Amino acid sequence: MKKNIIFYFSGTGNSLVVAREIATALGNTDLVSIPDSFGVDLFNYERIGFVYPIYFGGVPLIVKNFIESLDIPPSYLFAVATCGGSALNGLKEINALICAKGHSLNFGTILSMGGNYILLYGKSEKAEASNAQTTKELPDIASAIRDKSQRPCGKPNPIMTLFTNRFRKGVHKATRTYIVSDNCTSCGLCAKICPVHNIEMKDNKPIFGGKCEQCMACLQFCPQRAINGTKTAKRKRYHHPNITAQDLIRK
């Protein structure tokens, strides 16, 4: 029996929890993080899935680059996008990327979960309710994927794509606004959790490089709330309650 594979990208655990649940329900499924998977050989998989957060109404830059780099064989292709409530092009963009490879997404769905973009807002009071709703929906989504159901995703809105492209163009510059306060205890967690290895500890302080994907893991998980953007200091932190920092750290 051929295996399945799910690629995920996740800063604060929503997409990881979803990817993990679907992988467990399917069985016989490799679960791998996108930053670790460039150059992967896909020719022995029956179902290939992508689980990721929606950024500025579209696909995160690293997810876009990853799909563009893949050699995709004929297989059942699915995507699950997580978001804070405004999905916009988030699923349609991945469909377009896959269509550009001569395939189309067989099944796609969007899940509203806790919003994590602390540069704009703190943890919402609705986060728990959204996550509980997702937990209810996941068994049916996994069954649909197991049965190779078809759910087409449509084409992206080109105006929206311009908006997302603008974000993607500047995404690596975000860390210019990040400040590390004296509350930092030099624990090194931020450097370990950054999914793209964009943080290095130098002289016991985190130093940011130029590869930030704006996943928010470092701001949300710092135990001292020592990493901040210009307006985040008083904002309530968020990460998925069933996902720990250890779950997200690249092995």
Ligand X SMILES: Cc1cc2nc3c(=O)[nH]c(=O)nc-3n(C[C@H](O)[C@H](O)[C@H](O)COP(=O)(O)O)c2cc1C
15 binds ligand SF4 (CB under 6 A): no
CA–CA dist 202, 209 (Å, integer): 12
Residue closer to ligand SF4 by CB (options 77, 83) is: 83
Residue closer to ligand X by CB (options 75, 214) is: 214
- Choices 31-39, 51-59, 91-99, 206-214; region in contact with ligand SF4 by CB under 6 A: 206-214
Which residues, listed in sequence order, are joined to residue 83 by a DSSP beta bridge?
112
Looking at residue 210, the DSSP 8-state letter turns out to be S
The footprint of ligand X (CB under 6 A) covers 10-16, 53-57, 82-86, 113-117, 214-216, 240
CA–CA dist 139, 137 (Å, integer): 6
Which residues, listed in sequence order, are joined to residue 48 by a DSSP beta bridge?
5, 77
Q: Alpha carbon of 23 to those of 26, 111, 143, 221, 226: distances in Å? A: 5, 16, 11, 25, 35
5 binds ligand SF4 (CB under 6 A): no
Q: Alpha carbon of 153 to those of 39, 82, 156, 172, 229: distances in Å? A: 26, 15, 9, 29, 35
Among 34, 51, 79, 189, binds ligand SF4 (CB under 6 A): 189
Minimum Å distance from CB 211 to ligand X? 14
93 binds ligand SF4 (CB under 6 A): no
229 binds ligand SF4 (CB under 6 A): no
222 binds ligand SF4 (CB under 6 A): yes
Q: Are residues 74 and 46 in contact, defined by beta-carbon separation less than 8 angstroms?
A: no
- Residues of the shown chain interacting with ligand SF4 in the complex, contacts defined by CB under 6 A: 11, 175, 180, 184-190, 194, 196, 198-199, 206, 208, 212-218, 222, 224, 226-227
